[in-house]
Every structure is written in structure tokens, then in C-alpha cells.
Structure 1
Amino acid sequence: MIDRHFPGPATRYPVPFRGLPLLLLLALFLLPGLVGHDPWKAEDATHLGIVWRLLQGDGGLVLQLGRDAWPDAMPLYYWTAALAAKAFAWLLPWFDGARLATALYAALTLGFLALASRELHGRDESASAPLLLAGCIGLLVHSHEAQPAIAFLAAQAATLAGLTLLRRHPWSGALVFGGGALTAFLAAGLAALPGLLLPLVLLPWLAPRKTLVAPLLLLSLALAATGPLLWSVLLTPAQAGVWWNGELAQLRSLEAGWRNALVLLNMLPWYAWPALPLALWTLWARRREWLTATPAPALLLPLAAFLASFLTVVSTVDAKSVAALPLLPPLALLGAGGIKTLRRGATNLFDWFGMMTFTVAAALIWLGWSAMVFGLPPKIARNFVKLAPGFEGSFALFPVLFALALSAAWFWLIFSSPRSPYRGLTHWTAGVTLLWGLVAALWFPWVDYGKSYRPVVAGLTQALPTKHGCVAVRGELSPALKASLDIFGDLRPLPLASSEGKRCDWMLALVPVKSSGTAGTGWERVWEGARPGDKTERLRLYQRRAG
């Protein structure tokens, strides 16, 4: 009979990355792309705008974006980012330094997940869960922008590690869990806690002795409750009322919850790849445990954590990419336990798919770089110009050398890795690292050109006189644009409907590209601008007519 499986769990395999090589791979995954570009439209600029206000001395407990209080944002990530910006001010622009907070929390996430994987699956699998998480498609962009959700992931991974430690080190495990829950509150608020606390129902299966269940539960809950209690005390009554209303406003109706669930279920197959199929395989391969005995913690804990996170996400926030991040660590932890039991054919297929996908993708990235810098091939070069009118690529030696080194390392890896069930996973995560590193080195000047509001704000400030007085805004600006006006132009427009705004002689309006409407009587358009290639919105500046 043909052996379609690798030998059983007792067999030891060479894990391609462990120790320093593993740290190097994860560092190459985390660091490229965090620095060297402006705050970008959407999440990145918004969160950096809040950090900018902190650096200017505004905010603290209740954060601020432009002139507006931002009570829904919890402060942990922003405090860390502001400290990082100051610490690296001698080396980096403040926004690049601030983004290093994302690298810190992402590294903590991977480290705590490695600890949890070692406790659940054994020493060989300690690297599997962080490699699996780093390879998830949904994590890639968010782990390379200013993103408070990554701080929550670090706290979530700490709670998982704490729960896995309970059997061998019960009191240390409870302290780690409680500290993680406290950190999660400071990172994401009260609404995020149920997804972390619900797995505590497994304490009778995780605690080494039944007599420890109650005291461990009390210690864990006491530490978790410290954050909300202290927060309520530190805020003024008015601030606390606004904060509680914001927390309650996150709750979704049953109908909205169903819609969120459907959106997430449709998104997960690509978003959680390759953790999701490996997690499903783990459940299938160990299906007999559900029928014949109490399932092992290696199954119960990640599955319970995933279900708790899923229920929390669908009931408290709108389903979008960043909201689904808490689903990834439990899936990675569950999937890590099934790698050694994969059929040999499935392992080889996964390995082949990863090698081919990322080799072809790397070649296309190099081709795109050639089109941007040298104009070859001409057709592709014209497409880049069409997407970012006015962009002129230039040759930069260090990024090219870095990209060449990454490409050479990729080919060395795929030809030298030992045969192992871990080979496909290692190649996949290394391929994701290669892909992101090449994009960061070769394409980021083009991406930055199209996603930064810097040239728009520069044009706006040139159109304003030096002593222009206050500027009002009609309607709503996006948070990213509001942040960019503050960061690049020191502009914090007043609402036109406010008493102060009505006295302003200058007014901004964000309008659709094809809009030809006017601002009404009494206003004259003096300037308009948009990001290169932006086909959706334009920013217009109006001046009040004299008399």
C-alpha cells in the first residue's frame, strides 16, 4: 500500500526556520513598508492624524483628530506610536517612527502565538502558528500601516498564551491572560472583551486541578476588569458618558449581525488563507476525538476562541477587513496542529502552489518596476502613467539591491529547503515576505505618489494667503483628509454651520469629480485639486466675495 501520509506525530522533522533564521524571516516580513512614505489615504492617515495631535500636546485620555474629539479610539496604540515617533526622531520622520509601533505589536502577537503553539502542539510547532499568521493574506496590509487593531491582536495572542499556560503554570497563565485582557481594553475598548473572556468557560479542562478553577477565574476576571474600572474613574463624568454611549453604539441589531456574518464568511476563504483550510483539516483529521472522548485543549481552545471572536465581531462592528483581524490568531493556532498530519499530496500541492505563485508574482513586480523606471515594456508603462498621471520613476540603488537580495534568497530557499511537512508553510510565508518586500522596495514611490494627500494640501496652502484667518468646511471631510490637512498644512477647518465657521472668509468642500455645482451666492471658487489618478473626489477652496 502506498503511504500517503508523512510518518506519525512521534517522528521529528527538520523545521526549516527556527531561532535566528525564523526571527530574520519575521523581521523581513514586519519591517519593509513601514517607513519611507507619507501617511496614506484611509486608515494610515487617520490614525497618524491622531498621533500628530498627541505630539502637538492635544488629547491624552480622550484622543483628537483635527479639531474633533475622537472618543471611540482607545489610547494604547496612539501613546505607543507617539513615544516611538519621539524616540526615533533623530533618524526618521515622525510618521515613520510612529508606524514602528505597529511592528512592535505585530512582533508581540507572533511571539505570544509561538508560546501558545508550543504549549498546545509541542516544540516543533512553536514556529508553525506565527508562520501561519504571517502568511495570512488579510494581515498583510494592516500589519504595515498605522493600525491600532494590531495592538489588540497582541493582547489577544497574550490571552491565548495565558490560557495555554494554565496546565503547567496556572498562576502565571492567569496573570498573562488577565494582563492581555487589560491590554486589549486599552487597545480596543470594552466591546472587544467578550471575545477574549468567553474562552474562560474552558477553565475546568485547562486548569491542572479542579480546586484551582475558581481562584484562577477570579484572578483573570479581576485583572480584566481593572481597565474599565480605572477608565471610568480617570474620565470626567461628561467624558465617561460620551465613552459609554460610544461603546453601546457599537452593538448591532440581529439583522445587522446576520449581514456581518455573511460578509465575513464570504471574505474568510481568501482573507484567512492559508490558516482557514489548515484549521478545517485539523478539525477533520481529529474528528474522532469529538465522538469518543473529551477533545484535547489543542482543539477546544482555538476553536472556542475563534467562535467567541466571530460572535463578537459580527455583533459589535461592521464587517470589514480590519474588523476581521481577531479571527486570524485562533485559526492560525488551530491550523498549526494539523500541518504534520496533512497528506503528502496535499503538502506537495501547497508547496508547489506557493512557489509558483510567488515566483510569477515576483517576476511581474520586477516587470512593473522596469516599466516605471525605464518605460519598458511601453504598454505597461502607459498603464502606470494612466493610473498616476505625472509620476516619473527613477532608479534608486539601495532599494534595487535590497530587492535583488530578496529575490536571490527566495530562489536559494526553494531549492535548498529540506523535505518536511513544514516546507509548504515556510515557502508560503517566505513568499508573502518576498512579495511585500519587492513591492515596498520597487513600487512604493509610485504607490506613495497616488495615496498621499501631501501634494493636494501643498496646492491648497499655496492658494491661501499667509494670513488667511480661519477656514470653514461645508459638509464632512473624510477622517484621512481631515488628518492630512492637519499634518501637511496645519489646517483644522471649522464646521461652516458653527458660529465660528460662519465668520470665516475661506471655505473647503469635498465634491465628486464630475460635480459642477457652486458653493452658493457669496462664494467664489479659487482653487481645486485631487490626488493623482483620483476619480472619485476633489477638494475645492472658496473665498467669500467682498460686500
Structure 2
Amino acid sequence: MKPVRLPAAATIALPRWGIFALCLLYILPGLIGRDPWKGDDATSFGVMWTMAHGTMADWLWPHIAGLPLPEKGPLAYWIGALSIKLFGSLMGEPMAARLMTGIFFLIGAVSVWYATYLLGRRPEAQPLKLAFGGQPEPRDFGRTLADGALLIYIASLGLLLHSHETGVENLQMALIAFTFYLCVRLLDEPNIRYSLQLGLVLGLLILNRGWVVPAALVLSLSGLCAVRAQFVKIRYVIGALPLALLFPIGWMLVLRQHHPFDSSPFPAWMEWNYRQVRLPSLDSVSYFFKYAIWFAWPAWPFAVWAVFAWRRQEKALHISLPAAFLLCFTLLAFANHSSEESLLLPLLPAISILAAFGLPTMKRSAINAVDWFAVMVMTGTAGLIWLAYIALQTGWPDKLSMKLHLLAPGFESSFQPLVFLIACAATIAWFMLVYWRISRRPSVLWRAVVLSAGGVILCWLLLLSIGLPWINQRISYATLSEELQRHITTPEACVEAYVGPSQRASFAYFGQLRFAGFSDHNCQYLLLQHSRRYSFTPEIPGHYEGKEWESIWIGHRAADKDELFTLYRRKHP
């Protein structure tokens, strides 16, 4: 028996303008007005910036100003570099690169919505017919479930930071969500057209982040068809492979033809893919369960309940397809020994869709518990952000103001009326949403997650509006890059650097340093990154003659006393 019994009044959908506004409020903060962040954000921007200002060889061989990065595929870098060339002069190069990040998020969000909508319209997903009628229409039920899935997707804590960073993972998420949508289409109505579209998306996945995920998806889909005794559909899944393989083969042939920098990233790219699959270890399994609990909140409680509630219809497509995706990516996370949050990101589209089908069967007490948790945590977090803003603007409370200035030395607060009004409007809207939810107690399905999604949007908007200047001061390398540039007396001189990729990208962009490339040797300057924790004086690499170099500068970001950079100049160039 189906576990869902609903009246039509519970399936009132969100207006389309409301969905679009929520998506914009979610994605725009963090894309506008900030510097590249330390880590993958600056690293990916560095590759895109290098391509945008380079030659054909730079487009074929991903690198940051001479530092090779062959591990991930070039697709996201190509798109970001093209965006920089088209829009960099209008909105600034970092913002132009992040423009694609926003588009990738919207593709993923729309794919999650439509995939849930199609699954929610299927006959096996419909609620039981009521004795005197009044049950919802399939289209209305599908739309309401789709709204719930999108709200859960937006509310997922693990998506928040990564969806705003410049990087490969954003495009990966969008392609995986779109793959899910195509799988719904293909399994519902198998034909050559959907098979070719699936092959196209799988090929883009290979070019973006390797062949491991596409191969695992093909195996999972084939296994799902076999479990559902739909063996005819397996040939449409397998038929997508030839088109998918054309993408890496084409890239390899172009590399062989041009042979950029007298080498090729293809062997290192293949080796990186091989390292993604090993036997599961205790560390990889424990990492998954340790971080997935908060990473997939609030989706996983609803998803677990959906599996339990629909346990007698486990072969129904709206349960079996997202479960197959979740099993696929869970096993891949177990098999990968790298402790990276990017391994958990592919779980979010499928778990959000599965969680949506748990909403109609969730008990009112559980829904209220999730709501009150969201109200307390998000309101408290927003209050702390406002308190920190007041401390920076007024100096009160004294201890908090002093602590914030110690964390970001040199920060000078300034009042921005427009930003302040936007933050106030968002806070007022949050309290209105809470009042609407508590006072009216609506029966619509998506009521269970609207506060979680609204709270995440509020906190992120506050943090990246009134808190953005302080964050830029704390994590940006802009000031340090300018200081470093002043000590290089010859602008065209090359610098051999042993620094991290994000630091190299920041120094190249902000400081306009010309780093040693693939074939540059005997540079006049040498830049080393080291840690005060181990030694104030860095150890010069063994293939350099230490007596040939003299230290001319030691610096660090004002907010990081441990990370040091030392610049050397060759005594006898």
C-alpha cells in the first residue's frame, strides 16, 4: 500500500517568480565584489586567468603561470577562461570567471526541480485516492514535490560554500544533476535521442573531472535496469558510451597534434583517475560518515524516512533511481582515500530528490523539530553576524571588536548604506517568514524545509554583504602581492617559486609576477613558502646553490602569522 494520503490543499506550489528569486538570493551573494579565496577558488581562477591571457598551448595544458595542474580535466577551465575573455573588461576578471559558477548552479537547480517533477507525476508515486475525492492531480503533486526538492537542495549545508567557489566541482554538480534528469527521461521513455544526450553529458563529465564518475554511473544505471527487469533499456545506457568516449579521445588527439610545451597532461590525468579507485579503507569510510551528517543536512533525515516509508515499493523509479545514484557515489567515496569534501558533493542532487519523497510521509512532530532547529540555529547565527558587524562599526562590545581586528589586522570599517539596507531587508524578511510558518501552520508539503532554506540564504547573504570587507581583508592575498611586487626591481624578471597553487595564482594576478614557465631557467628571483612553526628561515631546495642567493624580503598576510614567504635574489645573474 502507498504510504501517502494527501488532500489537494497540501499541494499548493510555490510561484515561479518566488523560486527564481530564491535561487538568485542564494547564488548572487559571494559572486559579487570579492577577491579570489584561498584554496580551490583561487587555484581554479589562476588556471582560467592563465588560459585567458595565454596561447593555444596554455589552453591545452592546464597550469597556473607555469605550475602544471594536469589532474582534473580542462572543461571548466575552458569555460571560465572564455568568460574572462568575453566579460573580463566589463566586470573584472574574477567576477567574469565566477559568472559561470552562477550559471552552473542554476543548471543544477533546474535539473533537480524537473527531475523531481517528472518522478512525482508517475502513477506509482501518486497519493492514495481519498474516499470522497479531493486528492491532488499528478501535475500538482509533482510540482509541489519539485519545490520541496529544490528547497532541500538549497538548504544543504555542504553545497553552500562550494556552489560559490570558482572551480571544477560546480560544473561537476550541474552535470550530475542534469544526468539524473536525463536518466529519468531515458528510463521513462527509452529512445535514441535521450541516449545520445546522455552520452553527450557523460563525455562532458569525463572532460571535466575524469572518467571514474561516468563509468560508475553507467554501471549503476545498467544494474538498476537489470534489477527492475528492464533489460531492453540497458542497451540505451550502454549506447551512450561511444559518444562519451569521443571527448577524451578528441582531446588526446589534439594534444598529440600540438604537443604543448613539448609534453602532454594526458598521462598524468589518466594516473590521477586511476588513483581515485582503491579498496575502501577505515579512514575513507570514517571520513564519509563523520562529515556526511552535516554536509547533507537537512536532506538525509528526510531521505532515510523516504526509504523506510516506501520500503514496499522499493523498485519504483522515484525511489530506486535516486537510491542507485546515492549508492554509486557512496561507494566511490569509500574507494577514494583522499579526504576531500568534493567527494561528498555528487550525493546532494540525488539525496535532495529522494528526501522530497519523504516529505509527504513525515510526521508532524518530526517536521516541527526540523523547523525549530532551523529557527534557533539560523537566527542565532544571523544574530552573531549582526553583533560582529556592530562591533566592527562602533567598537562595542570591546572584547569582540578587539578580537575581530586581531583576526584581520589592518581592517578599517566603513559604513555602506546600500549594503546595510539590503542586510536589514533580508533580516526582516526572515522574521516575516518565521511568523508566517508559526502562526499559519500551512499544510503544504514544502513547509518542512522552507525555514531551513530561508535561514541558509539569510546567513549567507549577511555574511557576504555586511561581512564581506572583513572577509576579504582576512583571506585575500591582494595586499601581500602588492608588497611582494615592490621588491622585484625588474618588472620583466622571472621568478622561480615553490609556493602553493592558490598563492601562485594570487601573486600572478594581483602582483603581476612573471613566474618561471615550463622552459624558463636561471631566473633572477626565487620565492619560497614556509612555516614559522617549523623554521623562520626556509630551506633552499637542494639543486640550488645556497651561496648564490641573498634574502631580500620576508612577508606574510597580516591575518596569518604562521605562513611565511621569503624572496631571494641571485647574487650573480
Identity over the aligned pairs, expressed in percent? 31
Cα distance change of structure 1 residues 254 and 216 upon mapping to structure 2, 3 Å threshold:
closer
Mapped partners of 1:47, 1:244: distance in 2: 16
Mapped partners of 2:278, 2:329: distance in 1: 17
Match of 2:461 among 434, 437, 448: 437
8 Å contact from structure 2 (residues 359, 448) kept in 1: no
Provide Cα deviations, 1:471-519, integer angstroms capped at 9, x if missing partner: 233xx31110111121112224339xx9954x33322111212523365
Provide the residue aligned with 1:523 in structure 2: 549
1:510 and 2:523 matched: no
Aligned counterparts, 1:235-250, within 5 A:
235-236=255-256, 239=264, 241-243=266-268, 245-250=270-275
8 Å contact from structure 2 (residues 38, 503) kept in 1: yes
Letter in 2 for 1:494: A
Root mean square deviation of aligned Cα: 2.5
User: Aligned to 1:539, what secondary structure does the other structure show?
Assistant: strand
Q: TM-score, normalised by structure 1?
A: 0.90
8 Å contact from structure 1 (residues 482, 492) kept in 2: no
Match of 2:215 among 182, 187, 194: 194
Cα distance change of structure 1 residues 508 and 298 upon mapping to structure 2, 3 Å threshold:
same
Deviation at 1:389, TM superposition (A): 1.2
Cα distance change of structure 1 residues 185 and 88 upon mapping to structure 2, 3 Å threshold:
same
1:8 and 2:5 matched: yes
Aligned counterparts, 1:247-396, within 5 A:
247-254=272-279, 257-290=281-314, 295-316=315-336, 318-396=338-416
1:485 and 2:504 matched: no
User: Aligned to 1:141, what secondary structure does the other structure show?
Assistant: helix
Deviation at 1:259, TM superposition (A): 2.2
Cα distance change of structure 1 residues 279 and 297 upon mapping to structure 2, 3 Å threshold:
same
Deviation at 1:12, TM superposition (A): 4.1
8 Å contact from structure 1 (residues 203, 217) kept in 2: no
Provide the residue aligned with 1:69 in structure 2: 68
Mapped partners of 2:224, 2:285: distance in 1: 28
Mapped partners of 2:23, 2:164: distance in 1: 13
Cα distance change of structure 1 residues 185 and 439 upon mapping to structure 2, 3 Å threshold:
same
Provide Cα deviations, 1:203-246, integer angstroms capped at 9, x if missing partner: 63799x95842542343233333323323333218527524543
Letter in 1 for 2:528: A
Provide Cα deviations, 1:308-352, integer angstroms capped at 9, x if missing partner: 112223324612112211111111111111011100111111112
Aligned counterparts, 1:418-497, within 5 A:
419-420=442-443, 421-467=445-491, 469-473=493-497, 476-494=498-516
Q: Which moved more, 1:52-61 or 1:456-465?
A: 52-61
8 Å contact from structure 1 (residues 135, 432) kept in 2: yes
Mapped partners of 2:491, 2:407: distance in 1: 36
Q: Which moved more, 1:239-248 or 1:69-78?
A: 239-248
Cα distance change of structure 1 residues 248 and 94 upon mapping to structure 2, 3 Å threshold:
closer
Q: TM-score, normalised by structure 2?
A: 0.86
Match of 2:420 among 400, 403, 412: 400
8 Å contact from structure 1 (residues 164, 173) kept in 2: no
Deviation at 1:103, TM superposition (A): 0.8
Provide the residue aligned with 2:123 in structure 1: none
Mapped partners of 1:521, 1:211: distance in 2: 71
Mapped partners of 2:316, 2:231: distance in 1: 20
Deviation at 1:276, TM superposition (A): 1.2
Q: How many residues align?
A: 531
Deviation at 1:24, TM superposition (A): 0.4
8 Å contact from structure 2 (residues 72, 269) kept in 1: no
Q: Which moved more, 1:374-383 or 1:217-226?
A: 217-226
1:221 and 2:220 matched: no
Provide the residue aligned with 1:539 in structure 2: 565
Match of 1:45 among 42, 45, 61: 42
Provide Cα deviations, 1:141-169, integer angstroms capped at 9, x if missing partner: 01111021110111111111111113543
8 Å contact from structure 1 (residues 102, 150) kept in 2: yes
- Gaps spanning 5+ residues in structure 2: where? 121-141, 541-545
Q: Which moved more, 1:129-138 or 1:413-422?
A: 413-422
User: Aligned to 1:541, what secondary structure does the other structure show?
Assistant: strand
Provide Cα deviations, 1:361-384, integer angstroms capped at 9, x if missing partner: 112111111111221211110010
8 Å contact from structure 1 (residues 152, 183) kept in 2: no
Letter in 1 for 2:448: G
Mapped partners of 1:248, 1:268: distance in 2: 23
Provide the residue aligned with 1:3 in structure 2: none
Deviation at 1:526, TM superposition (A): 1.7
Cα distance change of structure 1 residues 120 and 67 upon mapping to structure 2, 3 Å threshold:
same
